[in-house]
């Protein structure tokens, strides 16, 4: 589907409208002929990454207690067994009917459960089950049916104004709106750790995804059960880190919230799990800054430990919070220096479409670029063991909750 959108000069350009949530959604399920098969009483058996990440052992040290995560998404249903008692007051900037408890797609609810779900009554168990989530409900399509970036920008700023330490954003666009960049910078200046999904279109156009592609945003890619980069995981968004994203159940196709769907979570789920990993570290080290938490996340990956060059597909590698929590690894370093830019925060950096050069006219660098490493790319991160890999795995790269996505223009 395409629409004509006027430019600032009065000319028109054709912009693609598609799904840019990083998770595969209900439409993808129907197209693939999959049925919602994950009953709540068995869904935790499908959370293969909990064993792979040694979650039970980590929870003996940290459960995310005392950490708050703002989830910028489609809203969330706080009445699910997994989220009861886990949700703090948030804000709805979507301009749509309902409130923060309204989640027609199930996407935001799933992200919140992956982060801080209690697992009650056999529901999804969050990786940081004692963390709390703050819902920030956004949408890019207003009540008039027209595309608008304003709610997304307002959502980032609203999240920054909460007392959440971490902002988890599993939605985005291909259009690098400078106001969105400023909002991300605003959040970083307030000491937030901002994580965003890299996108799911590597097998298609592989557009750079925003806000993940902006400086001061941690771009999160997805891995599969073998620890390799998922085939759909976008590599164009200056990937910084990776987390499990393949074959993760969620509320993708049942609006009644009676059963989970058995399918991919994509880089959406990966972002939620990376955010939960950060929550585990921050709970253990409450005096650390966002820079220090992120530095330890980056420096305790499998690629880093094996001295393998960072990858354009996996960034520094898949998150391994256990390396710090259980083994004491990771130097937090300077609390004021960003590990993404190697500088203190300053004026927003500008990115030029199609350019791999760091820096701008203000002298503030983009995110430090990772090298393209044959050892680290398609070989994947040597972090997660093979757990529960069966035959006939279907890989979906589509999205459900429809948010407008634009192919961004070249900047001059």
The tokens of 77 are what? Answer: 């249903």
pLDDT for 364 equals 33
**Are 150 and 156 spatial neighbours (Cβ–Cβ below 8 Å)?**
no
Residue 379 domain-assigned (yes or no): no
Catalytic residue among 105, 107, 262, 311: 107
CA 173 to centroid of chain Cα atoms: 13
CA–CA dist 67, 44 (Å, integer): 23
The backbone torsions φ and ψ at residue 407, rounded to the nearest 5 degrees and listed phi first, read -80, 120
**Are 183 and 176 spatial neighbours (Cβ–Cβ below 8 Å)?**
no
Range of the domain at 35: 12-325
CA–CA dist 235, 113 (Å, integer): 26
pLDDT for 338 equals 95
> 209 vs 171, 199, 234, 245, 346, CA distance in Å?
9, 6, 8, 17, 22
CA dihedral 40, 41, 47, 50 (to 10 degrees): 130
Residue 352 domain-assigned (yes or no): no
The tokens of 39 are what? Answer: 């009953």
Q: Is 388 strand, coil or helix? A: coil
- State yes or no: is 73 an active-site residue: yes
Residue 286 domain-assigned (yes or no): yes
Residue 332 domain-assigned (yes or no): no
- State yes or no: is 51 an active-site residue: no
Beta strand 12-16 with 2-6 is: antiparallel
> Peptide bond before 211: cis, by omega within 30 degrees of 0?
yes
Ranges under pLDDT 70 in the chain: 1-41, 140-148, 254, 345-412
Catalytic residue among 73, 201, 366, 377: 73
Please report, for the domain that includes residue 117, its CATH number. 3.40.50.200
Structural domains counted in the chain: 1
Catalytic residue among 268, 275, 283, 311: 268
Residue 311 domain-assigned (yes or no): yes
Beta strand 166-169 with 68-73 is: parallel
* 266-284 vs 290-299: helix crossing angle, rounded to 10: 110
Please report which helix (H) or strand (E) contains residue 218, including its range: strand 218-223
Residue 76 domain-assigned (yes or no): yes
pLDDT for 87 equals 98
Residue 202 domain-assigned (yes or no): yes
CA–CA dist 135, 143 (Å, integer): 20
pLDDT for 13 equals 28
Is the backbone of residue 319 left (phi > 0), alpha (psi -120 to 50) or beta? beta
Residue 288 domain-assigned (yes or no): yes
Q: Max alpha carbon distance in the chain (Å)? A: 60
CA 213 to centroid of chain Cα atoms: 12
The tokens of 98 are what? Answer: 């309902």
């Amino acid at each position: 589907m395409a629409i004509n959108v006027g430019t600032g000069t009065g000319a028109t350009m054709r912009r693609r409208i598609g799904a840019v949530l990083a998770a595969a959604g209900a439409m993808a399920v129907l197209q693939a002929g999959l049925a919602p098969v994950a009953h709540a009483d068995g869904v935790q058996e499908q959370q293969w990454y909990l064993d792979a990440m040694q979650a039970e052992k980590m929870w003996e040290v940290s459960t995310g207690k005392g950490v708050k995560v703002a989830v910028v998404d489609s809203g969330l249903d706080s009445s699910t067994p997994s989220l009861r008692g886990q949700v703090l007051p948030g804000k709805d900037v979507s301009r749509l009917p309902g409130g923060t408890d309204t989640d027609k797609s199930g996407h935001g609810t799933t992200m919140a459960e992956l982060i801080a779900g209690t697992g009650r009554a056999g529901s999804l168990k969050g990786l940081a089950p004692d963390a709390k989530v703050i819902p920030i409900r956004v949408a890019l399509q207003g009540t008039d049916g027209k595309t608008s970036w304003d709610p997304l920008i307002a959502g980032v700023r609203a999240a920054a104004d909460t007392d959440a330490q971490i902002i988890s954003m599993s939605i985005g666009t291909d259009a690098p709106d400078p106001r969105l960049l400023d909002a991300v910078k605003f959040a970083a200046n307030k000491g937030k750790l901002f994580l965003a999904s890299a996108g799911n279109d590597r097998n298609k156009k592989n557009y750079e995804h925003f806000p993940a592609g902006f400086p001061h945003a941690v771009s999160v890619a997805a891995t599969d059960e073998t620890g390799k980069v998922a085939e759909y995981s976008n590599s164009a968004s200056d990937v910084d880190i990776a987390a499990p994203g393949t074959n993760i159940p969620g509320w993708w196709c049942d609006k009644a919230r009676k059963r989970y769907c058995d399918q991919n979570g994509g880089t959406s789920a990966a972002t939620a799990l990376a955010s939960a990993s950060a929550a585990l570290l921050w709970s253990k080290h409450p005096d650390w800054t966002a820079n220090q938490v992120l530095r330890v996340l980056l420096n305790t990956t499998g690629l880093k430990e094996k001295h393998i060059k960072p990858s354009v597909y996996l960034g520094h590698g898949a998150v391994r919070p256990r390396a710090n929590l259980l083994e004491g690894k990771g130097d937090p370093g300077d609390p004021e220096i960003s590990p993404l830019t190697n500088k203190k925060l300053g004026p927003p950096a500008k990115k030029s479409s199609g350019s791999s050069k760091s820096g701008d006219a203000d002298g503030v660098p983009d995110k430090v670029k990772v090298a393209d490493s044959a050892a680290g790319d398609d070989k994947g991160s040597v972090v997660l063991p093979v757990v529960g890999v069966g035959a006939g795995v279907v890989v979906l790269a589509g999205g459900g909750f429809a948010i407008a996505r634009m192919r961004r223009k070249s900047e001059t």
